[in-house]
Chain A
Amino acid sequence: MADREGGWWSRLSHVGGPVDASGYRVAEIGGLSDGLWVVAWVHVDDEVIADARFEVYGALEALAIADWLAARIIGHARQAACRINARDALDALGLPAEAGGDALRIEDALRLALSCDAIGGRYEH
C-alpha cells in the first residue's frame, strides 16, 4: 500500500462483478450512506471456490482488502474459506487499523455469499 497514488487499484484482479453471473452465489451488504457497499460474488464447484470477486464502493483500502481476500480463497474449500480472517489483510497489505471495519464488513459479505453460518464455519474474532 506504499504506492497509494500509483494506480495499483486499476490492476486488481478480483474486483468488479463477473462478466457472466450465472452460477455465482451473491451477497450484498452496506450502501452509499454507509460509506461502504460490497457485493460478494463466489462461484463454488463441488465445495471448492472456483472464483471469487467483489464489487466495492468504498475507500481504496476496501478495494485492496477485497482483492486480497478473493485471491486467498480461490481454489480452497468452502469451509476453509469461511474461516478466513479478513483482518489479516491489514498486516499483509500494511493498512492502518482504521481499515479494520471495512475488512470485517467485506468478510461478512463473503460469509453471506458462502452461506458460512449454514456449515458452522464462523471465524472467532
Chain B
Amino acid sequence: MTAARSRALYLDYAASTPVDPAVAQCVNDALVSEEGVANPASAHPAGRAAAARIEAARETLATAIGADAREIIWTSGATEADNLAVLGGARMQRARGRGHRVVTVATEHDAVLAACERLAREGFAVTRLLPDSDGYLAPDALAEVLGDDVALVSVMSINNETGVIQDGPALGELAHASGALMHVDAAQGMAEWPERLADRPVDLVSLSAHKWYGPPGVGALWRRLEPRARLEPVIIGGGQETGLRAGTPALHQIVGMAEAFRLGSQRRAVDQAHIARLRERLEQGLAGIGGLVRNGRRDGSARILNVSVAGVHGDALRTALGGELTVSAGSACSSREGVPSHVLQAMGRPEALAAAALRISLGRELSEVQIDAAVAAMVRVIAQLRGPSPAWRHMQAGASVAELYGMADEPVLVA
C-alpha cells in the first residue's frame, strides 16, 4: 500500500489515512453481498442478515476498543458523534436537573465548539478554557471551573492539530467528582490508546474510521452503560441505534470501520514504535533549520508534529511546499478557508505565526527514506523563502522570535 495519492509525499495522516487494502476488500465484499442490498431494519431474511452483519461489526469494534457492544452507536463520523455527545448529553443532563453548564477547551475541534455554541443559544452557560502556551490543559485549570452546575465536560484525547495529549484520567476523575458527564473526542486517539475504554473515567467517546485506516463517512460514539450516560437523540425520524441515531446504517462502511479497528488494535504497538522512530528522525532532521516554533509538546503524539516557520509567510510556505509535500496548515476541516488556526491562536500564537504553521502527520507505511526526503524538501524550500525575507534578516541579526512577533515569552523551538 502506498499513501501517496499524487507525486507529493503524503504527510497528512491526521486529516485522513488511506484505507487499508484489507479493509477496502471488506467494504467491497459487503457492498456486493446479498446483505449489502437490504435495509437492516427490514423484517425479511435479507434485512435480518444485514442487521446481523452490523451486530457482528459492533461486537468486533467493541472488542477492539475494550467495550461492550451495546455501548456502540454508529454515526456518520466523529463530527456527528461529537454533536450527539455534546448536544445529546448536555440536553439530557439539563432535562434531568443535572446542570446547565458545559466546559470545554478553546483548542477543541469545531465539531465540539460549534455544538457548545448551539447549547449557548439554548440557554446553557459555556466555559471555554484556554490551555497553556504548549496546548496542555492543566487539570487544576479544569478543577477551578467545575461545580455542581456543570452538565458535561468535553476535552479531546489527542489534539488533531498539535498532537498534544491531555491528562484524560485526571480530567475525567475531576469531571465525575463534580457529577458531570465526561466526553472525549478520540478521533485521533485510538491509534495510541491501548487501554480498555471501560477502564477510563469517561462516559462518551467519539471515534472515527478514516483516521485509522478505515473508510470515510462512518464513526461511532461509545457511551457508557454502567452507569448509563443518557443521551437525547440529535438525528430523529427512526428507531435505529436504540432510538439514539435515526437513519439507515451504512453496512459496508460499518463493516469496514470494525475491520480497520480490529487490524489497528492488533498492530498498534508495532505501528506506534515505527512511527516514533520516524518522528525522531523527522525532528532531528528539522532541528538544524532553526526558527521552527513547536506548536505542541515534545511528549505529545508521535504522529503529529506542528511547527510554525518563523520569518516565512504562511501562504508562500504552503504553496512552495505543496508540490512536494502534502501537509496541512492545521485542521483539514478549517485550513481550506485560509484562516489561521483557532487552536494555535488559543495557544497564544500571533496570527502571522499561526498562519505559518505546518502540521506534519505520520502514518504507518512511511519509510525513513521518505522522511529524509521530506526533511530535505523543507530545508530547501524554507531556505529559499527566508532568503528574501526581511523578517529572517532580522532574526539572523539577533532578533528573537518573540521580539519579531511581539510575544511576551520566547516560544519553544524545535532543536
Q: Is the CB of B387 within 8 A of A16?
A: yes
Within the complex, the shortest CB–CB distance from A35 to chain B, in Å, comes to 7
B398-415 interface bits toward A, Cβ cutoff 8 Å, 1 = contact, 0 = none: 000000111000000000
Q: Is B393 an interface residue (CB 8 A)?
A: yes
A12-51 interface bits toward B, Cβ cutoff 8 Å, 1 = contact, 0 = none: 1001110000000000100011011111000000000000
Of the listed stretches B244-252, B312-320, B364-372, name the one at the interface; the rest are far from the partner chain.
B312-320
Within the complex, the shortest CB–CB distance from B404 to chain A, in Å, comes to 7
Q: Is the CB of B388 within 8 A of A32?
A: no
The CA-CA distance from A39 to B392 in the complex, in Å, is 12
Q: Evaluate whether A55 and B351 lie within 8 angstroms (CB atoms) in the complex, with A10-B384, A32-B405, A35-B313 already known.
A: no
Q: Evaluate whether A59 and B323 lie within 8 angstroms (CB atoms) in the complex, with A33-B352, A35-B352, A37-B391 already known.
A: no
- The residue in chain A whose Cβ has the minimal distance to the Cβ of B355 is A35
Q: Which residues of A contact B406 (CB under 8 A)?
A: 33
Q: Is the CB of B389 within 8 A of A57?
A: yes
The CA-CA distance from A56 to B312 in the complex, in Å, is 10
Q: Is B311 an interface residue (CB 8 A)?
A: yes
B309-334 interface bits toward A, Cβ cutoff 8 Å, 1 = contact, 0 = none: 00111011001101110000000000
Option from B319, B384, B393 in Cβ contact (under 8 Å) with A17: B393
Q: Which residues of B contact A6 (CB under 8 A)?
A: 323
Q: Evaluate whether A58 and B316 lie within 8 angstroms (CB atoms) in the complex, with A5-B323, A32-B405 already known.
A: yes
Q: Is A63 an interface residue (CB 8 A)?
A: yes
Give me the interface of A with B, judged by CB distance under 8 Å.
4-7, 9-10, 12, 15-17, 28, 32-33, 35-39, 54-60, 62-63
Q: Can you list 16 residue pairs at the A/B interface with Cβ under 8 Å?
A: A6-B323, A7-B384, A9-B320, A12-B388, A17-B390, A28-B390, A35-B313, A36-B313, A39-B390, A54-B388, A55-B393, A56-B389, A59-B319, A60-B319, A60-B320, A62-B316
* Pairs A-B, 3 closest by C-beta atoms: A5-B323, A15-B388, A55-B390
Known: A35-B352, A62-B316. 7 other contacts (CB 8 A): A5-B322, A6-B323, A9-B385, A32-B391, A32-B405, A57-B313, A57-B390
